[in-house]
Amino acid sequence: MATKTVQFEIKRQANPDAPAVWERFELEWRPGMNVTTALMEIAANPVTADGRQTTPVTYESNCLEEVCGSCAMRINGKARMACSSLIDDLEQPIRLEPLSKFPLVRDLQVDRSVLFENLKAVKAWVPIDGTYDLGSGPRMLPQDQEESYPLSRCISCTCCMEVCPQFNEATGFVGAATIAQVKLFNNHPTGKVLKAERLQALSGDGGIQECGYAQNCVEACPKQLPLTNAISDVGRDVIVQKVRDLLRK
């Protein structure tokens, strides 16, 4: 009986200035294979489908269970997580490309640090003094917990930014993930002490007004964050904050 195989086409680029080339790989099919396990096999034996020795494909991964957010790439043209993309669910040849909206490092690895800079800009954290034991934190009402928990599932994968028509150099838009984290930390009983600063950070160029509400983000999010709801809620809060700031002048 002929061995069942899996075909891949992978976009290779040795560095940001090198020309991009496509390489074909063929692996033996195994039950439960996903894109990351296939990339691991290619790294262990980097030989193309036509028998040519090549370099191991560079890609990022860590948790292998859709928690760390590092393995986002374009799989058959769609931004998604390699570790949770089962081979049996994908049309072949499976085409792997790096995310297109972020600076390329090599092959399938990109530099997603813009998201972390955006999160810093909006102070996406709960400010606490960690030098002494603060005891247990303030209690949250169950309904507030229910609203916050889905937002806390963000894995910083940047899929929502990759698919957003407004996330580009011209707008400098922060993207849906950052806005969702503003809502999460503004809802937090201790985090809300920085609420005004977070909303002010979203009110200028590249802020929330850049969103065209195309809703691509919510469809692409692997963790099903309620992104468009968060954008609506934070948009309203940004307007209220602007009015408050105007009245204070």
Footprint on this chain of ligand FES (rule: CB under 6 A): 61-64, 66-71, 81, 83
At 12, give phi and psi (nearest 5°): -110, 140
Cβ at position 121, least distance to ligand FES in Å: 24
Q: Whose Cβ is closer to ligand FES: residue 90's or residue 199's? A: 90
Residue placing its CB nearer to ligand SF4 in the complex, 110 or 217: 217
If the CB atoms of residues 29 and 213 are measured against ligand SF4, the closer one turns out to be 213
Q: How far is the CB of 180 from ligand SF4 (least distance, A)?
A: 5
Query: Residue numbers of the site for ligand SF4 (CB under 6 A)?
Result: 154-160, 164, 166, 176-177, 180, 211-217, 220-223, 225, 227-228, 231
Q: Which is nearer to ligand SF4, 23 or 210 (CB)?
A: 210
Supply the DSSP string of the chain, one letter for each residue: -PPPEEEEEEEE-SSTTSPPEEEEEEEE--TT-BHHHHHHHHHHS-B-TTS-B-PPPP---SSSSSSS-TTEEEETTEEEESTT-BGGGS-SSEEEE--SSS-EEETTEE--HHHHHHHHHTT-S----TTS---S-----HHHHHHHHHHHT-----HHHHT-TT-STTT----HHHHHHHHHHHHSTTGGGGHHHHHHHTSSTTSGGG-----HHHHH-TT---HHHHHHHHHHHHHHHHHHHHHH-
Residue 13 contact partner, candidates ligand FES, ligand SF4, none, CB within 5 to 8 A by sort of partner: none
**Which one, 46 or 235, has the nearer CB to ligand SF4?**
235
User: What does 42 interact with, of ligand FES, ligand SF4, none (CB < 5 to 8 A by kind)?
Assistant: none
* Among ligand SF4, ligand FES, none, residue 63 binds (CB under 5-8 Å by kind): ligand FES
| From ligand FES, ligand SF4, none, interface partner of 160 (C-beta below 5 to 8 A by class) | ligand SF4
What residue 121 binds from ligand SF4, ligand FES, none (CB within 5 to 8 A, per partner kind)? none
